[in-house]
A = this chain, B = another copy of it.
Amino acid sequence: MSIVTIKDVAAKAGVSPKTVSRVINGEAYVRPEVRELVQKVVAELDYRPNAFARSLSSSRSYLLGLFIDDPVSGYATDVQHGALIGCRQRSYHLVVEPVDLTAPDWESQVRGSIAALRLDGAIVAPPICDEAALMAVFAESGLPTVLVAPSSAPPASGTVRMDDRRAAQEMTEYLLGLGHRRIGFVQGPISHSASARREEGFRKAMAAAGVTVDEDCIVRGDFSSRTGMELGERLLALPERPTAIFASNDDMALGVLITAMKHGISVPERLSVCGFDDAPSSRAAWPQVTTVRQPKAEMAAAAVDILVNPQFRQKAGDEHAHLMLPHELILRGSTGPA
């Protein structure tokens, strides 16, 4: 497969390389008939502009970096998928860069990716988007950066999030509406800022309903199904057993569900269980778990839009884009009347 360059196209179309460049990049000021001719030749020759040459001369790489803590998690997978879709639509490519903040050379790694690849933008996923040291590296580099579900609104180019607090509140209101009063809550890990927001929502709804939260009913997990099982044991062994358990994510909800099964406590008849995420585990279970759909892929796609959109790029630096995407309560079989 001989490689077709812009010169080949120019020669065959009888124009200058610059004109081909104009057509390729959709610039104005090309006579319609010339444009059409060039487009025809491009198609005939199946010409693909060399991304490196383009990047070198334009100092744009058409490359976005996705910086992520644990690329193996289900969360990461969904975020990446959304980012990939967004990139493809806009002819960008995505480079996934795992960031291990416990590695001694993490900073050099990150700097290296930014500098060597001349990234056009970065998307940073939770929980590392809440790490000050990492964010400082991005800030210093001047790279447009969008944070996914960060705790606050740090000085990044943009943020994309959902309302974790409100969603947890709605879920709690739903449980209260079902008649539950004694509700167990499994907190997520402190390292994820969403954990605190979800707990706030839970407490807010309980307070609004005038229900006192028994602190014995609040336990902290690490988002794994294993801690869900362990903490489920603890909650179900309480002298006065909760009639519902709200776990801060689906994996932990699944753990609670399994524990209930082990003890022969039928769900939802004797215990309601709900989670957060709409992860595959919430659907793999039986009964399927009531949860909150988190628009992970949509958030990532929106992050790409923010980074790539020329309007945004122009004003980057002086203006920031902050998006809040809608969530959805997914009611399934694991919850029922108290």
Contacts and interface: CB of A to CB of B under 8 A. Distances in A.
A80 B52 contact: no
Interface in A53-72: 53, 55-56, 61, 71-72
B48 A56 contact: no
Interface in A284-314: 284-286
A284 B141 contact: no
A41 interface: no
A76 B72 CA distance: 9
Given A48-B115, A141-B1, A80 B53 contact: no
Interface in A30-79: 46, 48-53, 55-56, 61, 71-72, 74, 76-78
A81 interface: yes
A171 interface: no
Given A71-B77, A72-B77, A81-B71, A50 B284 contact: no
Interface in A114-136: 115-118
Nearest to A66: B96
A283 interface: yes
A118 B51 contact: yes
Q: How many copies of this chain are found per oligomer?
A: 2
A216 interface: no
Contacts of A255: 284
A95 interface: yes
A114 B238 CA distance: 60
Nearest to A262: B286
A20 interface: no
B284 A225 contact: yes
What's the dominant secondary structure at chain A's contact region?
Answer: helix
B56 A84 contact: no
Interface in A8-34: none
Contact of A93 (B1, B117, B285, B286): B117
Contacts of A72: 77-78, 81
Interface string A73-110: 01011101100100010000111101000000000010
Contacts of A140: 1
Most buried by B among A50, A52, A115, A286: A52
Interface of A: 1, 3, 46, 48-53, 55-56, 61, 71-72, 74, 76-78, 80-81, 84, 88, 93-96, 98, 109, 111-113, 115-118, 140-142, 225-226, 229, 251, 254-255, 258-259, 261-262, 280-281, 283-286
